[in-house]
Amino acid sequence: MKNIIKYIAALCLFGVVIVTYACSKGGVKTGNTPVQPSPPSNPGVPPKTDVAMWLTTPDQLQLFKQQNISLVFAGASNNNATITVDDGRTYQTIDGFGFALTGGSATLINSLNETDKAALLNELFKTDGNNIGISYLRISLGASDLSANPFSYDDVSGDVELKNFSLDKEKVDLIPLLKRILAINPGIKILSCPWSAPAWMKDNNSFYGGSLKPEYYDVYARYFVKYIQAMKAEGITIDAITPQNEPLNAYNNPSMLMVSADQGKFVKSNLGPAFRAAGIATKIIVYDHNADHPEYATDIFADAAAAGFVDGAAFHLYGGNINALGMVHSQYPDKNIYFTEQATFGGGNFGGDLAWHISNLIIGATRNWSRNVLEWNLASDPNLKPHTDGGCTTCLGAVTIGNSVTRNVSYYIIAHAAKFVRPGAVRIASDLLNTLQTVAFKNTDGSKVMVVLNTATTSQAFNISYNNKAVSTTIPAGAVATYVW
């Protein structure tokens, strides 16, 4: 995936600013006065409010900060534009929000001392206080390009019986860390996907590029079965797999080309039947690549024999338009939609990345029927490592782990949804205004959540209307706010 960066610049506002932990909790201290609502009349007493508001601004003066203001539902008495939220109109169920826990991420997090590691894991996976409540993870089946080196779980050439299959490489960092995470959030969903089959199963005998040989389709299907069973034996349930990460990108390390006809045949004739024979309930999700080729998924869905084994399709947005996800849903409403990867990169603009990702992913993907939103790498070091030789050299983690832990833009992007929109929530109707983009949800406990992005260059005052009552609020230029009631 990462070698398509050459055209990402035409699709998104590039780059990220790293911010410190102190910033995430209290805002960057500068000579400027942060844009904030008026303080309560008695600063020592929290104001009465019906609605909680959490705010991140592009200047980083507010970083996922709960606002100490009173937002009370009443009759609207102003001429502000109004966003109506209607929980009588419901759409898809939400599975969660989160990141890819790459092998490199696991190694970096495990490098922390026990006190710091426990604090970071609680912050990432708990929902109370200022914790952000990650509820969905993507892991690689074998190495990804953000592992230190390429590998598979059976690198013994010709081992068609898979007698040498082993998860030992993951027992150093990934599996112990997943067990820690599951202890915090036992219900977290995990999606797993390979960057490549074992090199000896491919027509170029390499982790880089090439295609799976047809004579190894059955062996490779059994490789997936062994993986899911071995992870289950470790106490880790794999909720879903995709047969190949970015199957149209053969220019990564590892990588593997798998065109839609081949993936459809593999699912129909090998992977699906192997799962069924082994009694495996793990979902099969096809494609897992850019929105510029939605026909990859719909071609597989059009084959009834293949579609019978398939839960849905997964997308990235390094190419294409997010609305393509909605078009796939319209054609095949019985198939689920997932958004499984988008990277942020070092050396760019915090506010630009914040706005683009909130607009296209948190709002855009979910308004186009996605059940989840996953950003790319959870953790990187100050030099944007580890990565393979040929892997992404510019991908920035949600957190940077070096002498200290710093939080980066994707941390805040996901936090604005993950903390409040919990698994099992349903998307509900909310208005879109000219410069105010929105998406709303209703949790299983009845609470409502709305994420709002102000795309204007000035602050915007508006009303939120729910059940014929309204609350008035203001959001700064370029900022994102989450409202909860």
Looking at residue 46, its pLDDT comes to 73
Residue 327 confidence (pLDDT) above 80: yes
Distance of CA 178 to the CA centre of its chain: 17
Residue 25 confidence (pLDDT) above 50: no
Instruction: Calculate mean pLDDT across residues 430-448.
Output: 97
pLDDT digits (tens, 9 = 90+) for 191-237: 999 999 999 999 999 999 999 999 999 999 999 999 999 999 999 99
Query: How many Cβ atoms from other residues are within 10 Å of residue 321's Cβ?
Result: 16
| 416 in Cβ contact with 450 (< 8 Å) | no
Alpha carbon distance 279, 134 (integer Å): 29
Catalytic residue list contains 170: no
The dihedrals phi and psi of 394, each to the nearest 5 degrees, come to -120, 0
Q: For domain 49-63+76-92+425-485, which CATH number applies: 3.40.190.10, 2.60.40.1180, 2.60.120.1270, 1.10.357.10? A: 2.60.40.1180
Instruction: Calculate mean pLDDT across residues 171-177.
Output: 98
Looking at residue 44, its pLDDT comes to 56
Residue 24 confidence (pLDDT) above 90: no
- Domain 2-10+95-423 belongs to what architecture? Alpha-Beta Barrel (3.20)
Looking at residue 77, its pLDDT comes to 74
Instruction: Calculate mean pLDDT across residues 251-259.
Output: 98
Looking at residue 47, its pLDDT comes to 86
Q: Are strands 96-100 and 136-140 parallel, antiparallel or unpaired?
A: parallel
Residue 380's contacts (CB-CB under 8 Å, 6 or more residues apart) are 104, 105, 108, 146, 395, 396, 397, 400, 401
Q: pTM (2 decimals)?
A: 0.91
pLDDT digits (tens, 9 = 90+) for 63-103: 999 999 999 999 777 889 999 999 999 999 999 999 999 99
**N-term to C-term CA, the chain:** 39
Instruction: Give the rounded percent of residues in the chain with a pLDDT score beyond 90.
Output: 89
Query: How many Cβ atoms from other residues are within 10 Å of residue 42's Cβ?
Result: 8
Residue 6 confidence (pLDDT) above 60: no
Interaxial angle between packed helices 174-184 and 114-125, expressed in degrees from 0 to 180 and rounded to the nearest 10: 60
Query: Are both 2-10+95-423 and 49-63+76-92+425-485 of the same fold?
Result: no
Looking at residue 4, its pLDDT comes to 42
Looking at residue 34, its pLDDT comes to 32
Task: Domain ranges for the chain, please list them.
Answer: 2-10+95-423, 49-63+76-92+425-485
Looking at residue 78, its pLDDT comes to 86
By three-state DSSP, how is residue 176 classified? helix
Residue in 123, 170, 341, 375 annotated catalytic: 341
Alpha carbon distance 97, 178 (integer Å): 16
Q: Which helix or strand (DSSP H or E) is residue 230 part of?
A: helix 217-233
Alpha carbon distance 411, 398 (integer Å): 5
Looking at residue 7, its pLDDT comes to 37
The overall average pLDDT reported for the chain is: 92
Query: How many Cβ atoms from other residues are within 10 Å of residue 138's Cβ?
Result: 28
Which residues on adjacent β-strands are paired with residue 98?
136, 374
More confident residue, 22 or 172: 172
Nearest to 313 by CA among 321, 305, 327: 327
Residue 21 confidence (pLDDT) above 90: no
Alpha carbon distance 361, 318 (integer Å): 12
pLDDT digits (tens, 9 = 90+) for 454-464: 999 999 999 99
Six token digits for residue 155: 């690198």
| 90 in Cβ contact with 97 (< 8 Å) | no
Q: Which helix or strand (DSSP H or E) is residue 89 part of?
A: strand 81-93
Alpha carbon distance 102, 380 (integer Å): 10
Looking at residue 303, its pLDDT comes to 98
Alpha carbon distance 17, 347 (integer Å): 7
SS3 content of the chain, % helix, strand, coil (to 5): 30, 25, 45
Catalytic residue list contains 341: yes
Residue 35 confidence (pLDDT) above 90: no
Looking at residue 274, its pLDDT comes to 98
Looking at residue 15, its pLDDT comes to 34
Query: How many Cβ atoms from other residues are within 10 Å of residue 443's Cβ?
Result: 17
Residue 108 confidence (pLDDT) above 80: yes
Nearest to 190 by CA among 124, 142, 243, 239: 239
Query: How many Cβ atoms from other residues are within 10 Å of residue 176's Cβ?
Result: 14
Alpha carbon distance 217, 418 (integer Å): 37
Q: State the burial class of residue 433 (Cβ atoms within 10 Å of its Cβ: 0-12, 13-18, 19+).
A: middle
By three-state DSSP, how is residue 390 classified? coil
| 401 in Cβ contact with 107 (< 8 Å) | no
Alpha carbon distance 395, 40 (integer Å): 42
